[in-house]
Each structure stands twice: as C-alpha cells, then as structure tokens.
C-alpha cells in the first residue's frame, strides 16, 4: 500500500483497488488537502489496467469523522472545505466501476457524504452514522442532500440533517443507508468476497447500470450502449457459459466505457 498525497493510502490487488482514509490523529477527518487529492487518485485508478472494483475505507477502527474542523478558520475556510469535499464526492459518485464503502466506527459528516457516494455500503456492527452541519450552522450541499434522500428516504435524511444526531447500524440498515451489517471481525472478508463476485460479473452490465441509475440517459447514450453490447460479445459469452455450466470469461476491453 502506498501513500498518495496527504492522508490517502492506495493499493490494488487482484482487480480490487483500495483507498484508505488515513488521518488517525484526527479520527480520519478529511482535510482540504485530502479532499482535493481524492479526485486525482480516483482518476488514476479508473484508468489502471485490471482494476474492476474500488473499496473505500478508513484506517483502524474509524471510517471518517468528517471534515477537519480545525481548518475552519479564516475567511472562506468553510466554503473552501465544502467545495473540496463536493468535488471529492462527485468524483467518487462518477467513478465508472462499482464502489464499496467498508465502514467501521464513526461515519460522520463528510465521511457519511463519501460513503453515500459509493454504490454500496458494508458496515461493521457498532458503526455510527451522522450528517452534522446543523451543529455548525452550515448549509449542506444540495447534491449531497438529494443523494442522502434518495438513499435513506426523506424522513431519515431530515432526521439526520435537522438534528445532527447519530444513528446506529440497525437504523442505517433498516432505512437503506447501509446494505449489509457484519460482525466487526467478518467485515473485511465479506467485502473481499463481494468484490470478487463483482469482478466476475459483466462490466458491460455494471457500467451501463451505473450510468442509467445516475441520470436519465440521452438517446445518444442509449445508442452508445447498444453499440457496446453488440460489439463486445459479453452477452454471447454469458449465454454460452450458462449453457456449458461454467464461469463466464467476459471479454470487455479495458478502458472502454
């Protein structure tokens, strides 16, 4: 695992890239420098040969305690932090491959913002989630608010945003804020197992589904995906593998999207 810029540890193995939020002295709080570095890290991983899945997690027993509030000093500091976090969130949401958040401990503020931008969230028992701008008198970004509403529903989103209270893994699972909850000792193995499942599936299906879920596709994008489906041969391989009772070997070319 190598350090990429301030507070981000990056590795790639067997088709899974892992980004670790690493600021342990501040409970993995995101500094402006860390948030600014994340889009570049993601762009590099999206273009890396062989990467099929991204896992975002935190160092040690905490996912991310939010933005580093010690930086909220001086004129424009809050806006600067929000803009950097917004760009990091958007880069994560736009990452072309499946993204998984592996959450332990606190997932609060900007940390919850990043986790919500991932496609799926796996949490350890005891994880706690919160969106806390109401403690600081900050307007939560509109795009982040909509994402939270779409993910957890309007009631839970309002509960989190209005109160700045934290919720436990039970309510997070019940409302859809997380997808699975595991005993802490089983979280890493489950994330590795599910990443392997995703790596074995059709990248054509995954990329098109991710794009369609994000926004209504234009006629041009629909035509694009129809061409990709016709040219890449994944449907033929999937049907052949099914009939031959074997694991498919999907031929999707690297870097096509």
Tokens 């939560």, located at residue: 140
- Give me the pLDDT at residue 96, please: 94
Rounded Cα distance, 187 and 149, in Å: 26
- Give me the pLDDT at residue 124, please: 98
pTM score, whole prediction = 0.93
With left for phi above 0 and alpha for psi between -120 and 50, is residue 66 left, alpha or beta? Answer: left
Would you write out the chain's pLDDT as a tens digit for each of its 257 residues?
677 668 999 999 999 999 999 999 999 999 999 999 999 999 999 999 889 999 999 999 999 999 998 888 877 888 899 999 999 999 999 999 999 999 999 999 999 999 999 999 999 999 999 999 999 899 999 999 999 999 999 999 999 999 999 999 999 999 999 999 999 999 999 999 999 999 999 999 999 999 999 999 999 999 999 998 888 888 888 888 888 888 888 866 554 55
Tokens 């940390």, located at residue: 111
Treating both helix axes as pointing N-terminal to C-terminal, what angle do 142-152 and 154-163 enclose, rounded to 10 degrees?
130
Treating both helix axes as pointing N-terminal to C-terminal, what angle do 219-232 and 234-244 enclose, rounded to 10 degrees?
50
Burial 68-97 (b: 16+ CB within 10 A, else e): bbebeeeeeebebbbebbbebbebbbebbb
Cβ proximity of 93 and 117 under 8 Å: yes
The residues near 6 (Cβ < 8 Å, ≥ 6 apart) are: 31, 33, 34, 37
Q: Is 169 exposed, middle or buried (0-12, 13-18, 19+ CB in 10 A)?
A: buried
- Give me the pLDDT at residue 256, please: 54
Half-sphere exposure of 213 (CA within 13 A, CB side): 16
Residue 176 per-residue DSSP state = T
Which tens digits make up the pLDDT trace of 47-68? 998 899 999 999 999 999 999 9
Rounded Cα distance, 60 and 62, in Å: 6
> Which DSSP helix (H) or strand (E) runs through 167?
strand 167-168
Helix (H/G/I), strand (E/B), else coil: 103: strand
Cβ proximity of 108 and 65 under 8 Å: yes
């Amino acid at each position: 695992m190598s350090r990429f810029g301030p507070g981000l540890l990056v590795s790639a193995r067997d088709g899974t890239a892992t980004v670790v939020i690493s600021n342990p002295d501040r409970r993995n709080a995101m500094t402006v420098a860390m948030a600014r570095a994340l889009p570049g890290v993601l762009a590099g991983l999206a273009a890396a040969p062989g990467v099929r899945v991204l896992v975002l997690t935190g160092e040690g027993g905490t996912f991310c305690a939010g933005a580093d509030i010690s930086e909220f000093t001086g004129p424009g500091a809050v806006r600067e932090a929000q803009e950097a976090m917004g760009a990091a969130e958007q880069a994560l949401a736009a990452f072309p491959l499946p993204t998984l958040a592996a959450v332990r401990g606190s997932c609060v503020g900007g940390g919850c913002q990043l986790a919500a931008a991932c496609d799926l969230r796996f949490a350890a028992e005891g994880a706690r989630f919160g969106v806390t701008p109401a403690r600081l008198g900050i307007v939560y970004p509109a795009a982040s608010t909509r994402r939270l509403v779409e993910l957890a529903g309007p009631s839970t989103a309002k509960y989190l945003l209005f109160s700045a209270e934290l919720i436990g893994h039970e309510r997070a699972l019940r409302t859809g804020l997380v997808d699975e909850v595991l005993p802490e000792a089983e979280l890493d193995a489950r994330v590795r197992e599910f990443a392997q499942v995703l790596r074995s599936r059709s990248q054509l299906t995954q990329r098109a589904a991710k794009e369609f879920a994000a926004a209504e596709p234009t006629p041009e994008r629909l035509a694009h995906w129809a061409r990709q489906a016709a040219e890449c041969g994944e449907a033929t391989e999937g049907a052949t593998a099914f009939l031959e009772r074997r694991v498919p070997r999907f031929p999707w070319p690297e870097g096509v999207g």
